[in-house]
């Protein structure tokens, strides 16, 4: 009873260690046909391998060990036939192994591709809150390093494991059939090798997870610094950043070394234990030949089956380590896939009314704190209403909540208290895609994607006609500098638009927003990166773009918003002043003080 209980407990521990791999089953399910075909070739290859020792026995007993009285020609003919049989078995083995390798590799590539796509698409749907605690480099590490580990497991290790399980079972069956005395050796293998190996493998899995975490740390540091090379070099921090990466890199190396050392010990333990046990059984086989109990062919067959069994156990030990590592990688990827954005689609979406002349925007008693800083309220009872078609500027000191207003309007976060309404519909009721389709945004720092100028402008409306795109480009004065480029709108701009000037990048971002033609336009100091002349022409273009739609502008330079219909002055998450530029200056409040500081300078 005690031994049965221990065996059951060991089985449950092994199941828990590999349980994360079950999450891969939905990605394997669509390819049942390919999996069945791979298993067929696997069984055929395994059967051919198990047939080889028997074919060798026939060769030895039916050819080489024939009595000397048998005619030499007959012996040679018999040997030739047995060699042809061996070649036939080897041919089947080679073809089946090649077919198995192709099918299993195909399955591994396909499942890894599907998994990578699922994780990437899922991450794209997460709210900005998700990225407050998780570095971009960490996500990239899971998309690359972890999926590579899983690919190796699905595309190689699982197949090798199944093949060697079949070989182990077949080899043991043949051994126990031909030499029943090996039953004691088999029992010794289970007790002295397999159970202790399970204890060692538990540490391998923990170290595998830790190793992948450390690799992700290095990716996070590299991703962050490579996106800020000009700043790093400007502050001459190259050596310091290299040192910081070196520390993380060495930690990753040390953890990987511990994992490799433990896994090597596991492999050595299994191989030595299995070979020692089976060689002991072989010694008994040699004694049986000397005693005339078995033939030389049966001994040859036994020796080959011993090699098959020992080799299978050694490979299974390697496969077990690979599966433990893949289990850790799967666990990390499933953490990403299990993350649920707090910004969900409404259960019963409410359609937004048809926009005519812009959107009506209303904040009613809005209180909000970022999830990463829940004790620090950013908006504290924010109230204001913007009528359709109005242009409204948000001004105020840093930290007043201006950028937060933009993020809440796009529903990157949900309010803590109060409500935001678009055309009298609560912001949480329409579908996210419908809501965000009504909003165009130009950030203070233009976001430019790797690709052509055409690609970047068309991002605002992928199905836009060429005439629409050119019209938006002319309105934002993009056409002016594009015409001077040899490749025109097909010009490659480089990663993050590094081949363009700051003003050119900003104008492309403005053209993208104009092309989208949304009824609500959000401008975060959209002309801040432009020189004086470009600012003048783009400001004129923006005024034309603002016509017929609601526009909210975050303004740091008050000179750019003097013509706004209204100016809302925010301070500590509340509207403290509301009016036009002349009205607010006359009141002598916060806006007047800010204006005096800027205009006097």
Q: What is the pLDDT of residues 13-63, one digit of tens each?
A: 444 567 888 888 888 899 999 999 988 998 898 888 888 787 777 777 665
Domain ranges of the chain: 25-338, 361-600
Q: Which residues contact 384 (CB under 8 A, 6 or more apart)?
A: 362, 363, 568, 575, 578
Predicted confidence (pLDDT) per residue in 283-338, tens digit: 766 777 777 777 777 777 777 777 777 777 767 777 877 787 788 788 888 888 88
Give the pLDDT of residue 4.
Answer: 43
Looking at the predicted structure, is the pLDDT value of residue 542 above 90?
A: no
Question: Which residues have a Cβ under 8 Å from the Cβ of 315 and sit 6 or more positions away?
Answer: 160, 161, 164
The rounded distance, in Å, linking the Cα atoms of 466 and 473 is 10
Query: Is 408:377 a contact under the CB 8 Å cutoff?
Result: no
- Coil, helix or strand at residue 377: strand
Determine the pLDDT at residue 303.
73
Got the DSSP string for 241-270? HHHHHHHHHHHHHHHHHHHHHHHHHHHHHH
Per-residue model confidence (pLDDT) at position 198: 61
Q: Is 377 exposed, middle or buried (0-12, 13-18, 19+ CB in 10 A)?
A: middle
Torsion of the alpha carbons at 374, 379, 383 and 384, rounded to the nearest 10: -130
The predicted pLDDT at position 74 comes to 64
Rounded Cα distance, 369 and 47, in Å = 65
* pLDDT tens digit sequence for 350-396: 888 887 778 899 999 999 998 888 888 999 999 999 999 899 999 98
Cα 225 off chain centre by: 20
Task: Give the largest Cα separation in the chain, rounded.
Answer: 128
pLDDT of residue 378: 92
Domain 25-338 bears CATH identifier 1.20.1560.10: yes
Gap between the Cα atoms of 70 and 199, Å rounded:
57
Q: What is the pLDDT of residue 534?
A: 66
Give percent of the chain above pLDDT 90: 13
Residue-level pLDDT at 10:
43
Q: Is residue 68 predicted with pLDDT exceeding 60? A: no
Topology of domain 361-600, CATH: Rossmann fold (3.40.50)
What pLDDT score was predicted for residue 251?
84
Q: What is the pLDDT of residues 172-198, one digit of tens each?
A: 787 777 766 655 665 565 566 666 666
Higher pLDDT, residue 496 or 73: 496
Secondary structure (3-state) at 301? helix
Q: Which whole number is the average pLDDT over 259-286?
A: 71
DSSP 108-176: HHHHHHHHHHHHHHHHHTS-TTHHHHS-HHHHHHIIIIIHHHHHHIIIIIHHHHHHHHHHHHHHHHHHH
For position 417, what pLDDT does the model report? 92
pLDDT tier at 475, thresholds 50, 70, 90 = confident
Mean pLDDT throughout 549-574?
A: 87
Question: Does residue 292 come out as left (phi exceeding 0), alpha (psi in the -120 to 50 range) or beta?
Answer: left
CB-count exposure of residue 597 (10 Å: 0-12, 13-18, 19+): exposed
For residue 18, give both structure tokens. 């590999």
Across the range 401-423, mean pLDDT stands at 91
Nearest to 576 by CA among 561, 564, 592: 592
């Amino acid at each position: 009873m005690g031994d049965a209980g221990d065996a059951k407990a060991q089985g449950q521990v092994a199941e828990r260690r590999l349980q994360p791999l079950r999450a891969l089953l939905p990605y394997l399910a669509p390819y049942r046909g390919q999996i069945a075909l791979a298993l067929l070739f696997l069984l055929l290859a395994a059967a051919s391998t198990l047939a080889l020792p028997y074919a060798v026995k026939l060769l030895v007993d039916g050819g080489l060990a024939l009595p000397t009285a048998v005619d030499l020609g007959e012996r040679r003919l018999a040997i030739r036939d047995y060699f042809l049989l061996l070649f036939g078995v080897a041919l089947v083995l080679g073809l089946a192994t090649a077919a198995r390798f192709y099918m299993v590799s195909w399955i591994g590539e396909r499942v890894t591709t599907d998994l990578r796509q699922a994780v990437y698409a899922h991450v794209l749907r997460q709210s900005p809150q998700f990225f407050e605690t998780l570095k971009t480099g960490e996500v990239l590490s899971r998309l690359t390093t972890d999926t590579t580990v899983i690919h190796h497991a699905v595309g190689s290790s699982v197949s090798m494991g199944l093949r060697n399980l079949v070989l182990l079972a077949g080899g043991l069956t043949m051994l126990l059939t031909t030499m029943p005395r090996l039953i004691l050796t088999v029992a010794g293998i289970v007790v002295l090798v397999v159970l202790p190996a399970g204890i060692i493998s538990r540490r391998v899995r923990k170290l595998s997870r830790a190793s992948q975490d450390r690799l992700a740390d290095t990716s996070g540091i590299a991703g962050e610094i490579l996106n800020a090379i000009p700043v790093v070099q400007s502050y001459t921090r190259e050596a310091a950043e290299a040192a910081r990466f070196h520390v993380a890199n060495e930690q990753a190396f040390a953890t990987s070394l511990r994992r490799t050392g433990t896994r090597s010990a596991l492999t050595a333990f299994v191989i030595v234990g299995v070979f020692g046990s089976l060689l002991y059984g072989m010694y008994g086989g040699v004694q049986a030949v000397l005693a005339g109990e078995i033939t030389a062919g049966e001994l040859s067959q036994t020796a080959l089956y011993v090699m098959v069994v020992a080799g299978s156990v050694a490979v299974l030990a390697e496969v077990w380590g690979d599966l433990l590592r893949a289990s850790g990688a799967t666990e990390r990827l499933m953490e990403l896939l299990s993350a649920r954005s707090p910004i969900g689609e409404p259960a019963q979406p409410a359609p937004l009314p048809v926009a005519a002349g812009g959107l009506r925007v209303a904040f009613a008693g809005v209180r909000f704190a970022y999830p990463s800083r829940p004790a620090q309220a950013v908006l504290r009872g924010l109230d204001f209403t913007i009528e359709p078609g109005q242009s409204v500027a948000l001004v105020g000191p840093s930290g007043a909540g201006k950028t937060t207003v933009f993020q809440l309007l796009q529903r990157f976060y949900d309010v803590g208290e109060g409500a935001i309404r678009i055309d009298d519909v609560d912001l949480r009721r329409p579908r996210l895609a419908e809501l965000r389709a009504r909003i165009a945004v130009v950030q203070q720092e233009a976001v430019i994607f790797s690709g052509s100028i055409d690609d970047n402008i068309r991002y605002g409306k992928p199905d836009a006609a060429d005439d629409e795109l050119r019209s938006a480009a002319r309105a934002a004065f993009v056409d002016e500098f594009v015409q001077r480029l040899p490749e025109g709108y097909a010009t490659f701009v480089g990663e993050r638009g590094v081949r363009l000037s700051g003003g050119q990048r900003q104008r492309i971002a403005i053209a993208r927003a104009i092309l989208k033609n949304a009824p609500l336009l959000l401008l975060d100091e959209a002309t801040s990166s432009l020189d004086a002349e470009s600012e003048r022409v783009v400001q004129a273009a923006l005024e034309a773009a603002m016509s017929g739609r609601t526009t909210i502008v975050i303004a740091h330079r008050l000179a750019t918003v003097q013509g706004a219909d209204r100016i809302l002055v925010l301070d500590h998450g509340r509207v403290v002043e509301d009016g036009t530029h002349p009205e607010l200056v006359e009141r002598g409040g916060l806006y007047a003080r800010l204006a005096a500081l800027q205009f006097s300078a």
